[in-house]
Amino acid sequence: MRLLITGAAGMLAHDLLAAADAGGIEYTALTHAQLDITNPAAVASAIGETAPAVVVNCAAWSDVDGAESREPEARAVNGDGPGHLAAAAARAGAWTIQISSDYVFDGSKREPYVESDRTAPLSAYGRSKLAGERAVARAAPHSHTIIRSSWLFGPGGRCFPAKILNLASERDVIDVVDDQIGCPTFTGHLAAAILKIGSTRPAGLLHVAGGGGCSWFEFARAVVESAGLDTEVRPCSTRDMPRPATRPANSVLRTERITEAPALPAWRRGLAEYMALRAPAR
């Protein structure tokens, strides 16, 4: 299985490359500087030159709040770009794996979201990711997997635990919202699942996220406790900390496709592995 991995400088790709190396899987990894997925001619050329069996799109506009004022740019990267990749991959006989988001939902459901639930994004970012899902499905109707995940964190980029650790080193008290819940997902665990999906190639939508669920407040408190810090973490409401982009109150994902979607470890295990990677070598 030969992979083409786009967005190779990003957080998820960092662990995907490591997992591929560990598994002896051949790949070509292209950063944004090497391949702009919004350029269909460049995409077609890259796929023609690398001849992958599976294209994994890790390229994304990830600035959720920034997308509110720059929606056309976010949509070009998250919506149009995946469609260009899927179309070129389909012409070359390759499978496409697109990484999507819990933000395609409005968060009003009381139970976890499954693949068949109605999408209704609240933000420009969510709309752009949903556009990407639809573009991939249109361009490669029989040769794609769309993976929705939630609250990614890992050592290869900026993420929530790193932000909390930085704040905890500067403050005695941190306020964190407790009325938004989701599934923190360690990129090391998701990367391994992506490689499995690249091998088994289940078609359509899959929800793949960290086991369990928690609020941002609970996640932050676990981070601080794991680091052995004395910083107080206090709960607050979303109204107390307004942001440009509206977040779904419920981002917990589960799957209806239990025989096809890899089950990830609990988010606390992912956090433990993340913290171990951050610990200084002795």
Q: Which residues are catalytic?
A: 125
pLDDT reported for residue 282: 42
pLDDT reported for residue 280: 59
| Cα(159)–Cα(182) distance, integer angstroms | 15
Ranges of residues in the chain with a pLDDT under 70 are 279-282
The owner of tokens 């790949």 is 27
CATH architecture for segment(s) 3-214+243-278: 3-Layer(aba) Sandwich (3.40)
Q: Where are the domains of the chain?
A: 3-214+243-278
Q: Give the SS3 label for residue 211.
A: strand
Predicted TM-score (pTM) of the model is 0.95
Convert the pLDDT of each residue in 214-271 to its tens digit: 999 999 999 999 999 999 999 999 999 889 999 999 999 999 999 999 999 999 999 9
Alpha-helix runs per DSSP H in 140-259: 160-168, 187-200, 216-226
Among 138, 85, 129, smallest CA distance to 105 is for 129
> What size, in residues, is the chain?
282
The owner of tokens 């107390």 is 240
Query: The tokens of 106 are what?
Result: 């409005």
Neighbours of 240 (CB within 10 A): 10
pLDDT reported for residue 278: 82
